[in-house]
Structure 1
């Protein structure tokens, strides 16, 4: 009976891909195989000197930086990430975290990582959205890589206006004093992999990195789902 009801619901309300809007087939969840194979991956986890790492020169002292995808405007990837962030589909973050975890599993740069932490939302923003998509990405990575997830080790203590309309300088100023480490003893001398969804100017990640290092973390590396192509 359950299978019949599920089949009927799929017939009446067929599940569609959040990237291309085509109908999903059996075995696919949220993102179709065609989109997965078409999302433009980077190889930044194989290169110490790469566009992600270089993004933080002069902003924060990171050890490694890497991103799963290159984000292009009006792409299927952009549509999928918008659904993840704004349309109550946080599970997309978890799926992409698992996918990246399987890619990173054999990467030498991961051997020194002690823990994973996600860039936090301010409680007001969390209440508005109902979830933090970066938490889901971090959980997917943690589950596949078997690396501890330090939930809540850093918090956003100052509510800041949206960054989307601000230039690089304004974003940096907007985030000064926005974050606080909750448990410096937990962080002390650890190599933390700080994760977020999309890397644009890097102001938020730089501010979080400086907060973690200032609280005693030994090293901070950064991983994102995507980096915006300039």
Structure 2
């Protein structure tokens, strides 16, 4: 690192997009995060995108065609998405979205998308946070893949409680009726790419898909940055 770069890093530090550690200006992530982030490599469910041991399709009926995620919500990937959501650093969305874009290009290579949209955030929550992280991911994914964005296709009309710490059934009930299709677009026979940050039980994506298909969309494919594992425990409890 040159003296000039050291001075710049002192005044305007460049930080790791995942953990926030100060790094050189020619780097995006620190060596630890680069080596420790682990993509999902096992055989995954063709619908929910989780590895078979964590698949929740036995207890859920998903309206969307498929959901994909490059990472589980743990370790370095968890730090990255939490930094985007709660760290007040919206610019890292562009970097995180690269992983989504690469996976969409690979897994949905035969799908032609008419539009791409994201899970909306209620205006009061967005005002408090300053941005909707899912919308930021959407913008970058659309730029990368040359898909037409429709960022206001869905809006959240009710300010519901946080999904955090809610169980599967509670999550489904908590999002029921809180979204609607906003823009006056003809969705008849359209194929939509739906972007979000995290897939937990799929309740949010499912409700958004229900609204899109209710407005005429034929197919909805989802892509998120992280997916979670806790569904495995819930399935065992139900059994």
Same fold (TM over 0.5): yes
- Kindly indicate whether the alpha-carbon contact (under 8 Å) linking 1:97 and 1:140 is maintained by their aligned counterparts in 2: yes
Post-superposition shift, 1:16? Answer: 2.9
Structure 2 gaps, min length 5: 231-239
CA distance in 1, matches of 2:43, 2:124: 34
Post-superposition shift, 1:175? Answer: 1.1
Corresponding residue of 1:8: 7
Q: 1:41 aligns with which of 35, 39, 42?
A: 39
Post-superposition shift, 1:160? Answer: 0.2
TM-score normalized with structure 1 length: 0.85
CA distance in 1, matches of 2:184, 2:62: 19
CA distance in 2, matches of 1:59, 1:184: 28
Change (3 A) 1:45 1:97: farther
- Give the alignment of 1:1-230 within 5 angstroms: 4=4, 7-12=6-11, 14-29=13-28, 31-32=29-30, 34-42=32-40, 48=46, 51-52=49-50, 55=56, 58-72=60-74, 75-183=75-183, 185-230=185-230
User: Could you report, residue by residue, the CA deviation over 1:127-176 in whole angstroms, capped at 9, with x for unpaired residues?
Assistant: 11110001111111111111111110010001101110322111111111
Post-superposition shift, 1:44? Answer: 8.2
Decide which moves more: 76-85 or 191-200: 76-85
Change (3 A) 1:59 1:176: same
User: Could you report, residue by residue, the CA deviation over 1:33-92 in whole angstroms, capped at 9, with x for unpaired residues?
Assistant: 5424432212589973564495466433211211111122xx222222111001111222
- Kindly indicate whether the alpha-carbon contact (under 8 Å) linking 1:101 and 1:145 is maintained by their aligned counterparts in 2: yes
- Kindly indicate whether the alpha-carbon contact (under 8 Å) linking 1:96 and 1:140 is maintained by their aligned counterparts in 2: no
TM-score normalized with structure 2 length: 0.82
RMSD: 2.7
Change (3 A) 1:49 1:155: closer
